[in-house]
Copies of this chain bind each other. A is one copy, B any other.
Amino acid sequence: MERPRHQGMAKNTYMRWRLPLTCLLWEVAMIILFGVFVRFGPEADAHWEEEKQEMNVTSDMENDFYFRYPSFQDVHVMIFVGFGFLMMFLKRYGFGAVGFNFLLAAFGIQWALLMQGWFHSFKTGKILIGVENLINADFCVGSVCVAFGAILGKTSPIQLLIMTLFQVTLFAVNEYILLNLLHVKDAGGSMTIHTFGAYFGLTVTRILYRPNLEQSKDKQGSVYHSDLFAMIGTLYLWLYWPSFNSAVSEHGDAQHRAAINTYCSLAACVLTTMAFSSMLQKKGKLDMVHIQNATLAGGVAVGTSAEMMLTPYGSLIVGFICGIVSTVGYVYLTPVLESRLHIQDTCGIHNLHGMPGLIGGIVGAITAAAATEDVYGKEGFIKAFDFTGSYKTRTPSVQGGFQAAGIVVSLVMALAGGALVGGILKLPIWGDPADETCFEDDIYWEV
């Protein structure tokens, strides 16, 4: 099993003490922090029985669990199966794709429950959690999975854990700025999850640039079966994206609408992806890389606006455009990013999350700016944008401006945070693989 290493490039990828210690210490820290801070929210606490009576709630159905649990499970599948299997396209990195994704996500959701909890669910010294917190933790980790796609195959599990720790932290800060300070809508996370995650990951991979990565070029492709496994990931992401974009929207029409808009955008996206995949190749054949990835861009690009009155045809237009942008990106932009900007983007996240995320932020800003009481109804208008309290007088066009500011903030946070974390990950102590052993499971796995 032990294979000879190229002399000159030998790196110490021995994980035996570094990985276990990191995992165990961090998990102990989680237990302590959860012990100090995390408790059940009112709807998950046994006291709910009494609270129901006080609040005149007549049906157990009013528990938020029943509004959100099915969506939560779909999102949960997307993070662990969707991302995990999508990244399995590499011929010899299946264990790493699904296994490291499993590891970082399992740690990330715990840390996200804390970080997001301190910002959003902190009451009288405790973080009170319920099903919505679980969804938001999965969302937060989703942005880490996105960034993982850029550095897939080139990092050690410890580096991934460190990136997760920092990225979740920065995600929570950025999310707080957007949702609470700018009072921006972003239910499906075009800005907070995709734009932030993608440009964060791209910055990290830029800093970790490997000039001699062509030494493992033979392993960077797919084989027939790895492409089929990847399609499992693609399809679950595609199918459950309506749940993703609607999972934390307001009860009722907003959740309903977000699911429909996303469904429409994704459907249109498949057709333009297929069209451009065939058109951009001399032989006119379809390329599985595009089918696996660009078909999902439509979900990313309505992440902000899906819960708004984007309308079904508006969603089709967004999906139409993003299938094209994303496929063109895979064909023309990815090679240029690597050769000119030294950005080695293993999964092409710039095409699937970066550009569509930006488009999603812009579509959201426009849709918000174009909102009228006529389209939303008087009450619906206030509810949709939460124009209450200190935001009572905010107008749609001002809201649009803040939405646009949210894109900029997310970008800045991503670039600055990615630079910081990339610098940390560049330290030669984390056990990353040599150039010629990238994209290969048997460095970190018993094969």
A positions within 8 Å CB-CB of B: 1-2, 14-17, 19-24, 26-28, 30-31, 34-35, 38-40, 43-50, 52-53, 59-67, 69-71, 73-74, 76-77, 80-81, 84-85, 88, 94-95, 98-99, 102-103, 106-107, 109-110, 113, 129-131, 134, 157, 224-225, 227-229, 231-232, 235-236, 238-240, 242-243, 251-257, 259-260, 263-264, 266-268, 270-272, 274-276, 278-279, 281-288, 291, 295, 309, 311-313, 316-317, 320, 375-381, 383-384, 442, 444-447
- A146 to B: closest C-beta gap in Å: 19
The answer to whether B24 touches A271, judged by C-beta atoms less than 8 angstroms apart, is yes
What's the Cα separation between A125 and B175 when bound, in Å? 42
The answer to whether A129 touches B271, judged by C-beta atoms less than 8 angstroms apart, is no
Given A228-B94, A228-B229: A46 touches B253 (CB 8 Å cut-off): yes
Q: How many copies does the complex hold?
A: 3
What's the Cα separation between A168 and B99 when bound, in Å? 35
- A42 to B: closest C-beta gap in Å: 8
Given A50-B378, A61-B66, A61-B67: A320 touches B27 (CB 8 Å cut-off): yes
**What B residues does A53 contact at CB under 8 A?**
379
Report, nearest first, the 8 A-B pairs whose CB atoms are least far apart.
A16-B284, A46-B380, A106-B270, A34-B313, A23-B275, A60-B252, A60-B251, A48-B253
Which one of A19, A26, A84, A236 has the greatest number of beta carbons of chain B within 10 Å?
A19
What's the Cα separation between A72 and B225 when bound, in Å? 29
Given A31-B316, A240-B73, A271-B27: A260 touches B291 (CB 8 Å cut-off): no
- A390 to B: closest C-beta gap in Å: 21
The closest CB in chain B to the CB of A323 belongs to B27
The closest CB in chain B to the CB of A381 belongs to B46
Name A291's contact: one of B67, B99, B227 (CB within 8 Å).
B99
The answer to whether A47 touches B380, judged by C-beta atoms less than 8 angstroms apart, is yes
**What B residues does A232 contact at CB under 8 A?**
81, 85, 232
The answer to whether A309 touches B268, judged by C-beta atoms less than 8 angstroms apart, is no
The answer to whether A235 touches B38, judged by C-beta atoms less than 8 angstroms apart, is no
**What B residues does A74 contact at CB under 8 A?**
73
**What B residues does A381 contact at CB under 8 A?**
46
The answer to whether A270 touches B103, judged by C-beta atoms less than 8 angstroms apart, is yes
Name A43's contact: one of B20, B67, B235, B253 (CB within 8 Å).
B253
What's the Cα separation between A94 and B66 when bound, in Å? 37
The closest CB in chain B to the CB of A39 belongs to B311
Given A239-B76, A316-B27: A253 touches B288 (CB 8 Å cut-off): no
**What B residues does A43 contact at CB under 8 A?**
252-253, 256
**What B residues does A106 contact at CB under 8 A?**
266-268, 270-271, 295
Name A61's contact: one of B61, B256, B275, B380 (CB within 8 Å).
B61
- A12 to B: closest C-beta gap in Å: 11
What's the Cα separation between A308 and B71 when bound, in Å? 24
What's the Cα separation between A199 and B383 when bound, in Å? 50
What's the Cα separation between A130 and B253 when bound, in Å? 10
**What B residues does A107 contact at CB under 8 A?**
267, 270-271
The answer to whether B278 touches A16, judged by C-beta atoms less than 8 angstroms apart, is yes
- A320 to B: closest C-beta gap in Å: 6
What's the Cα separation between A375 and B311 when bound, in Å? 45
A-B contact sample (19 more), CB < 8 A, given A23-B275, A27-B320, A95-B228: A16-B281, A16-B284, A20-B278, A24-B275, A31-B316, A34-B264, A40-B309, A43-B256, A45-B377, A46-B380, A50-B379, A69-B243, A73-B74, A81-B239, A94-B224, A94-B228, A106-B267, A107-B270, A157-B286
The closest CB in chain B to the CB of A276 belongs to B20
**What B residues does A375 contact at CB under 8 A?**
46
The answer to whether B98 touches A235, judged by C-beta atoms less than 8 angstroms apart, is yes
What's the Cα separation between A45 and B377 when bound, in Å? 9
**What B residues does A31 contact at CB under 8 A?**
268, 313, 316-317, 320
